[in-house]
Structure 1
């Protein structure tokens, strides 16, 4: 069972989205690298300017080596290219569509933060998958390890984790639904992991 689940985890929609974009090594028009510029800017602003409104203008101003309105809206907003939610919708399976609806935003900054969380969480997820591969765990133990990993990420990235009402990384939510093998809806999985992030930061 754990081998089958591990295979599913390595081929999630979120994983496919991230690996497809990050796998582009072309130095010209590398959309993933453009996204990372804005991911870093948003994450840094949350830390360095706590409580200050996060806007597209402040993110563009903080983007290095340079940001501009046009590239910001290439990576965030309803007309952005290669949105994570579009891959989830295109997948078409009920869990994927439900997850997409949970993360479908009208605010481009919130959409950027959702993707920033996935990018920031990804190294933790890779370590978790390596742990799964090294240990033959039942699904319940795998779910506990995932919850612990999300909590650790939240403690290490407190400002980002708290953004958008402690919304968890979409990749972690998708993974948790897989570990529960159809017995946990994406909306409930997201709510559970939001509670984990609130608890890890001491928020009420």
Structure 2
């Protein structure tokens, strides 16, 4: 079963969206680089002024000399190009459409933050997939998801995953590893993680549905990770 899950994790809709856009190496008309300019600006503003509400004007100002209203609305808002939610809707499968509805925003700033979370969490996801793919036989068996969640009320773990992985992983163990990965990201990006009501990175939510192989709906997966994040930050 774990090999089937890994195959699914390597080809998620949000993962393919990120890979397709970030893989564009053309120096001209590189939409991903435009997105990253605004992702970074929003992330830095939140980190510097977490209590100050973001607006498109403040994000554009932080993105100077490249920021302007027209390019902001190319990457955020209902008419933005290459929106993550559009790929989910186009996929058409029930879980993908449900996930899209969870992240379909009327506020362009919130939409930008949803995609910023995926961009920010991506290195943690890559590390997680590498560990799930090639766990060390010498490591002790991984903890259960319930154990991981009981310890998620503290964000004191290091950026790297603290979860030990065994050679043969159950879906519960993989879900526990994912939960710790999201918490490790949140510890290093507290303001971003807390934004938009502690919504988790959409790619992590989709990964959790893949791990549970249809037994966990996207809305429940999102709520589960949201609860983990909000509980951990309140405790912190």
Per the TM superposition, whether the score is higher than 0.5 is yes
2:209 aligned residue (170, 173, 177)? 177
1:168 aligned residue (200, 216, 222)? 200
**CA distance 1:96–1:68, shift in 2 (3 Å):** same
> For residue 70 of structure 1, what is the aligned residue in structure 2?
70
Deviation >4 Å, runs of 4+? none
TM-score normalised by structure 2 residue count: 0.85
1:143 aligned residue (167, 172, 175)? 175
> For residue 125 of structure 1, what is the aligned residue in structure 2?
125
Is this contact kept in 2: 1:154–1:200, CA < 8 A?
A: no
| CA–CA distance in structure 2, aligned partners of residues 77 and 85 of structure 1 | 11
Where do 1:1-204 residues align within 5 Å? 1-135=1-135, 136-202=168-234
| CA–CA distance in structure 2, aligned partners of residues 108 and 195 of structure 1 | 24
Task: Let me know the Cα RMSD of the aligned residues.
Answer: 1.1
| CA–CA distance in structure 1, aligned partners of residues 121 and 65 of structure 2 | 23
Higher share in helix: 1
| CA–CA distance in structure 2, aligned partners of residues 197 and 152 of structure 1 | 10
Tell me the SS of whatever aligns to 2:80: coil
TM-score normalised by structure 1 residue count: 0.98
Measure how far apart 1:202 and its partner are. 2.4
Is this contact kept in 2: 1:84–1:115, CA < 8 A?
A: yes
Unaligned runs of 5+ in 2: 136-167
Q: Which has the larger radius of gyration?
A: 2
Unaligned runs of 5+ in 1: none
